[in-house]
Amino acid sequence: MTKKKLVKADSSAQADGTESSSLSPSRRQRSVELKTKAIKDSALAVFSMYGFHGSSLEQIAELAGVSKANLLYYFSSKDDLYLYVLRDILAVWMAPFEALSADQDAVSSIKEYIKQKLEVSRDYPQASRLFCLEMIQGAPLLKSLLEGKLRKQVREKAKVIKAWSDAGQIAPIDPFHLIFTLWATTQHYADFHVQIEAITGKTLDNDRFLKSTVENIQSLIINGLRPRSE
């Protein structure tokens, strides 16, 4: 039940506190940006593994290569830091959704969406897992977003899917269940990466495994959606 220590990042943040005051304004600003980013990156790594309550500022600060007091100079509280991290990942998470477009035909839209989402699972697995943690906890911070912006966006995409099936491009299906299936299958490779690796010995970082994942899911779903004359 002990926490595994994350490997400390080789941060570029300077250890000497006085040095920054000798920097020019632009260089100082740059330094602040770098440090802020290092802290947010470390925070994402820790929060996405242990959740909000399970993470300590000490742990995050150590990973970022700064002192705990210094971290609290840049982010006024743990809550504050968490909210910044959560905000950053949302954009990443929702981006591939744009691939589902009425301007494109069904098959290539859906294939493209699966590919993009799996690439997100490969490139930002921590973001996917933190999002999943939030959902499991009942999304206390994201509930308003879910019920507002996301809900609206999903209903729009549902219309696009409905139009595709009405036009005979794909078989009739409840658009919501299709969207949930697309979400579930693609996120699974990030959220359950330990399980995937334990069983297959591979991860999405392996190019051939990514390729085979994309192709298998694409063909399963595209064939599943093929219009069939009864």
Residues of this chain that bind its own copies (CB under 8 A): 1, 4, 48-54, 79, 82, 129, 132-133, 135-141, 143, 146-147, 150-151, 154-155, 171, 173-174, 176-178, 180-181, 183-185, 187-189, 191-192, 194-196, 198-200, 212-213, 216-217, 219-226, 228
- Cβ(207)–Cβ(213) under 8 Å? no
- Closer residue to DNA in complex, CB, 30/149: 30
- Cβ(38)–Cβ(66) under 8 Å? yes
- Closer residue to DNA in complex, CB, 8/28: 28
- Closer residue to DNA in complex, CB, 31/185: 31
- The option from its own copies, DNA, none interacting with 5 (CB < 5 to 8 A, set by class) reads none
List phi, psi (to 5°) of 4.
-80, 135
- The option from its own copies, DNA, none interacting with 107 (CB < 5 to 8 A, set by class) reads none
CA distance 40 to 12: 14
Work out how close the CB of 177 gets to its own copies at its nearest, in angstroms, rounded to a whole number.
4
Work out how close the CB of 175 gets to DNA at its nearest, in angstroms, rounded to a whole number.
41
- Closer residue to its own copies in complex, CB, 35/52: 52
- Cβ(130)–Cβ(85) under 8 Å? yes
List phi, psi (to 5°) of 187.
-65, -30
- The option from DNA, its own copies, none interacting with 57 (CB < 5 to 8 A, set by class) reads DNA
Please give the C-alpha separations between residue 56 and each of 35, 45, 82, 98, 195, in angstroms, as whole numbers: 18, 12, 11, 36, 26
- The option from its own copies, DNA, none interacting with 180 (CB < 5 to 8 A, set by class) reads its own copies
- Cβ(186)–Cβ(122) under 8 Å? no
- Closer residue to DNA in complex, CB, 24/229: 24
List of residues contacting DNA (CB under 7 A): 13-15, 17-18, 20-21, 28, 31-32, 35, 55-59, 66-70, 72-74, 76-79
- Cβ(40)–Cβ(89) under 8 Å? no
Closest CA to 129 of 52, 37, 206, 65: 52
- The option from its own copies, DNA, none interacting with 82 (CB < 5 to 8 A, set by class) reads its own copies
What radius of gyration, in Å, describes the C-alpha atoms of the chain?
21
Closest CA to 64 of 84, 40, 88, 92: 40
Work out how close the CB of 59 gets to DNA at its nearest, in angstroms, rounded to a whole number.
7
- The option from its own copies, DNA, none interacting with 206 (CB < 5 to 8 A, set by class) reads none
Work out how close the CB of 110 gets to its own copies at its nearest, in angstroms, rounded to a whole number.
12
Closest CA to 36 of 71, 68, 69: 71
